[in-house]
Copies of this chain bind each other. A is one copy, B any other.
């Protein structure tokens, strides 16, 4: 079953295959790399020799001459604490976010067919950031896909400095000469506003994301502006932190101040879920008494009770596009930074 030729001793090299096939190394290389101009007869002879020897190309050797690592760094950049110790829970927290799984899913989807492999790089401390930069400069990866949680993350700028191709998820707070993929957050929020209004809601509040994060700001601004366009100059709001608990707290405050509200737009699904819980706790039926709209269309939107009407952020496609952009930049050498902005979409479920 598991015959493993050439298992003893060192692994087979191009040289070994060439000797067995009775040709030169160059020819074997051509066959392996699918270069045309090789006689069909010789071609099959070489193939036989390859299976006979159990040959597998040595990646390092190939990399050395092609100057391609076949690898892409998946950099998850964190809060940016200057703390000495690495944050042990960082990875766990990142992975706990449904967003990350979807992003990885999309990234893998593109990378795999192109024989690129993602190397996980967490950069949550200064030391880790320095290490990540060193890693990139070593040429260990052909490029970097960067996901940041922190608004004022210094890493993107430093990556740009290395000259290694890189693509960011979301527009950086400070301009950086790197390509990025983003969502039209304002349009998404406007979609939510229009929907709530179309449902006949009149007293509509919003639970914002953290207002020092761009996405938080944009969703808030977009919502307010859309409401204003429909004649609602003032929108009651409470700031949340994109977590379930913060959604609950915000909802309580909103309800205390505006007991008569009949519509809520939460800047993400987790907070919308928290809002629903509090609403029910306070005797409001969702959606009979109050309509709730979330944002992201994460797994939370589907598992919530009731399932959430939400603004879909196509994370998988956005992540795949990141990978595609990066690949393009790697292939083309230079290339100007570009921004690809995706359109959100209203997904109607039971909460509105």
**Which residue of B is nearest A163, CB measured?**
B7
Report the interface size for chain A: residues with CB under 8 A from the other chain.
Answer: 57
Question: How does the 8 Å CB contact mask read for A131-163 relative to B, with 1 for contact and 0 for none?
Answer: 100110111100000000000000001100111
Question: How does the 8 Å CB contact mask read for A115-145 relative to B, with 1 for contact and 0 for none?
Answer: 0011111100000100100110111100000
Indicate if the CB atoms of A95 and B89 lie closer than 8 Å: no
- Of B64, B88, B162, which is within 8 A of A58 by CB? B64
Residues of B within 8 A of A11 (CB): 137, 139
- Of B7, B63, B69, B118, which is within 8 A of A120 by CB? B118
Which residues in window 57-96 of A have CB below 8 A to B?
A: 57-61, 63-64, 67, 69-71, 74, 86, 88-96
Residues of B within 8 A of A121 (CB): 117
Give min CB distance, A74 to chain B, whole Å.
Answer: 7
- In the bound complex, how far is the Cα of B7 from the Cα of A78, in angstroms? 28
* A105-B119 contact, Cβ under 8 Å, with A138-B59, A139-B58: no
- In the bound complex, how far is the Cα of B107 from the Cα of A90, in angstroms? 12
Which applies to chain A's interface (DSSP): helix, strand, loop or mixed? helix
Q: List 12 A-B contacts (CB under 8 A).
A: A4-B161, A4-B162, A11-B137, A56-B137, A56-B138, A59-B139, A60-B64, A88-B105, A91-B104, A93-B101, A95-B101, A117-B135
Question: A44 at interface (Cβ–Cβ under 8 A)?
Answer: no
* A56-B91 contact, Cβ under 8 Å, with A86-B112, A117-B119: no
Question: A307 at interface (Cβ–Cβ under 8 A)?
Answer: no
Indicate if the CB atoms of B64 and A61 lie closer than 8 Å: yes
Question: A2 at interface (Cβ–Cβ under 8 A)?
Answer: yes
**Which residue of B is nearest A95, CB measured?**
B101
Indicate if the CB atoms of B104 and A100 lie closer than 8 Å: no
Question: A328 at interface (Cβ–Cβ under 8 A)?
Answer: no
Residues of B within 8 A of A117 (CB): 119-121, 135, 140
Residues of B within 8 A of A60 (CB): 60-61, 63-64, 67, 69, 139
- Of B7, B92, B105, B299, which is within 8 A of A104 by CB? B92
- In the bound complex, how far is the Cα of B2 from the Cα of A157, in angstroms? 10
Indicate if the CB atoms of A122 and B108 lie closer than 8 Å: yes
Indicate if the CB atoms of B134 and A56 lie closer than 8 Å: yes
